[in-house]
Amino acid sequence: MELKLTRAELEILLQTRHPTDDEMQLINQFKPYGLDPWESSELMRFALIASNNLIHGSGQVWDKNVLETMVASYPGCALMIDHEWKDQTKTFGMIYDSFIYSLPRVSKEGIVRILEKSPNPSEDYRIIQKDGYHQVLVFGFAEATHPIISEISYGRKADVSMGGIFYGESICPICDIPYSDPKCPHYPPYMAGLVDEETLTPYYRRSGKMDSIECSFVASGSCRQARLIDSRLNTFVFT
Ligand SMILES: [Zn+2]
């Protein structure tokens, strides 16, 4: 869903290390059945930018329909390290809420902040002008005494990356139709070396459904703006 909070409300929320009473109601929906409710003082809460609609390291762009299903399927998913899906020791917390914060138009200051980290600034700029900017926010919690809390608190862990299973198709950003449509003469960028270079598109869009699995702390994610929201509000853009 779209984030309803104003900038002021979000900033106030992020001033607190422990979840508010309203958040505790959401969080306690995930406690194992029969246990006493968790207390706010037992937990630490994080706000993360998990994804957006810009060009990621792999050359792909999530369409808004993917981001919407990513958000809808996020509550209850794990916070973990390095997308190690086959290693249960790498999970340390849970996502309890997720939103899209959309900007149909982005201010000049916002554009500068977004593109600061962009490997494809001119293409990303065109995407923002055409489709707006859509940021996926994830709110997660972990036990306040977990060792990873100090790693996050002291900045050793900050970059994140979303993990999920995508069901959908690849869309040509020039023709606005799937590459599989005979009317599209193009190929996605990962076909480089296999097809005529002039038929490659600078990136490829993915449209469909994302079944979110987890959000990982990583050394460097393929979405350059995906990160813990820090005291500067870093790459998070309000206007
Ligand atoms: Zn095409």
Q: What is the pLDDT of residues 133-163, one digit of tens each?
A: 999 999 999 999 999 999 999 999 999 999 9
Mean pLDDT of 38-59: 94
pLDDT category of residue 119 using cuts at 50, 70 and 90 = confident
Of the two residues 82 and 6, the one the predictor is more confident about is: 82
Expressed in angstroms and rounded, the spacing between residue 162 Cα and the centre of ligand 1 is 28
The model's pTM is: 0.93
Radius of gyration of the chain (CA): 19
Whether the pLDDT of residue 93 is over 90: the answer is: yes
Expressed in angstroms and rounded, the spacing between residue 64 Cα and the centre of ligand 1 is 19
Expressed in angstroms and rounded, the spacing between residue 185 Cα and the centre of ligand 1 is 5
Expressed in angstroms and rounded, the spacing between residue 180 Cα and the centre of ligand 1 is 9
Contact 90, 78 (CB under 8 A): no
Mean pLDDT of 114-120: 88
Alpha helices (runs of H) in the chain, residue ranges in sequence order: 7-14, 21-27, 64-72, 108-115, 121-131, 148-153
Whether the pLDDT of residue 108 is over 70: the answer is: yes
pLDDT category of residue 239 using cuts at 50, 70 and 90 = confident
41 to each of 30, 31, 91, 194, how far by Cα in Å? 17, 15, 21, 56
The percent of residues above 90 in pLDDT, for the chain, comes to: 82
Mean pLDDT of 67-81: 97
Expressed in angstroms and rounded, the spacing between residue 201 Cα and the centre of ligand 1 is 8
In the block, residue with structure tokens 């409710």 = 37
Q: What letters, b where the CB count within 10 A reaches 16 and e where it falls short, cover 211-232?
A: ebbbbbbbeebbbbbbbbbeee
Euclidean distance between CA atoms 150 and 135, whole angstroms: 26
φ, ψ of residue 65 in degrees (nearest 5): -65, -30
pLDDT category of residue 220 using cuts at 50, 70 and 90 = confident
